[in-house]
């Protein structure tokens, strides 16, 4: 394994930046805190912030006013953009996309080609994977898993050990909790 070389710069506020590989790209307006790492060919662009012990690696891109904090990892070709926040020990990988004002926190994982956007909140040990979409004012938390080409949106909530897979659609004010599997199903809590 090759040894990474780094260049040191200062953040827009004059504070020292964390480790930035010479192969990485960091905009002058972006903030990389002292404990953070930007490795490989990763990019931190525009007004994005990488703080704490967060690691951005591979060809991952953080842009807009997105924030990646704590011990979070964004890797591979993942994109975090807009005003999204990645916190705790969350992991974003593959070609996953997190945008809007979405928050992925705790030990949550977004991987594969999954997308999280809007005001969605993914927390705990939740996993969003494959080609799943989570958007709107949705909450997915605890040990819930959303996979396949499933979509969870509007103001739906998925908690507990629920698994949503296949080509399911969970929408409006639908609430799922406990230990259950939903496959190739449309659930629509219409008032």
Q: Which pLDDT tens digits describe the chain residue by residue (191 residues)?
A: 454 555 558 999 999 999 999 999 999 999 999 999 999 999 999 999 999 999 999 999 999 999 999 999 999 999 999 999 999 999 999 999 999 999 999 999 999 999 999 999 999 999 999 999 999 999 999 999 999 999 999 999 999 999 999 999 999 999 999 999 999 999 997 65
H/E stretch holding 116: strand 115-116
End-to-end distance of the chain based on CA atoms, in angstroms? 58
Exposed / middle / buried, residue 139 (Cβ in 10 Å: 0-12, 13-18, 19+): buried
Which residue's entry shows tokens 């977004």? 110
Q: Measuring CA to CA, how many Å separate 99 from each of 31, 141, 160, 176? A: 18, 18, 24, 24
Q: Cβ atoms within 10 A of the Cβ of 87, count?
A: 20
Beta strands 157-158 and 139-140, pairing class: parallel
In order of 26, 33, 157, the CA distances from 2 in angstroms are: 21, 24, 45
Cα(190)–Cα(122) distance, integer angstroms: 23
Give dist(CA 147, CA 152) in Å, integer.
10
| Prediction pTM value | 0.95
SS3 60: coil
pLDDT of residue 132: 98
Predicted local distance difference test score (pLDDT) of residue 189: 78
Q: List beta partners, residue 140.
A: 122, 158
| Alpha helices for 23-158 (secondary structure H) | none
The pair of structure tokens assigned to 147 is: 């996979």
The pLDDT, as a whole number, for residue 1 is 47
Tokens 């004059």 correspond to what residue? Answer: 14
Q: Which residue has the tokens 């525009």?
A: 46
């Amino acid at each position: 394994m090759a040894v990474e070389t780094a260049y040191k710069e200062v953040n827009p506020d004059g504070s020292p930046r964390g480790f930035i590989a010479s192969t990485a790209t960091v905009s002058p307006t972006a903030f990389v805190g002292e404990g953070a790492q930007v490795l490989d060919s990763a990019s931190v662009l525009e007004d994005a912030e990488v703080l704490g012990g967060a690691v951005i690696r591979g060809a991952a891109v953080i842009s807009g006013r997105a924030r990646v904090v704590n011990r979070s990892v964004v890797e591979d070709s993942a994109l975090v953009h807009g005003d999204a926040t990645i916190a705790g020990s969350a992991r974003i990988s593959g070609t996953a996309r997190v945008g809007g004002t979405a928050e992925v926190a705790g030990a949550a994982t977004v991987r594969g080609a999954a997308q999280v956007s809007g005001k969605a909140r993914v927390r705990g040990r939740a996993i969003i994977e494959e080609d799943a979409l989570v958007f709107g004012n949705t909450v997915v938390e605890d040990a819930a898993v959303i996979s396949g080409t499933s979509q969870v949106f509007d103001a739906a909530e998925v908690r507990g050990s629920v698994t949503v897979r296949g080509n399911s659609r969970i929408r409006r004010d639908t609430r799922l909790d406990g230990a259950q599997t939903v496959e190739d199903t449309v659930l629509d809590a219409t008032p």
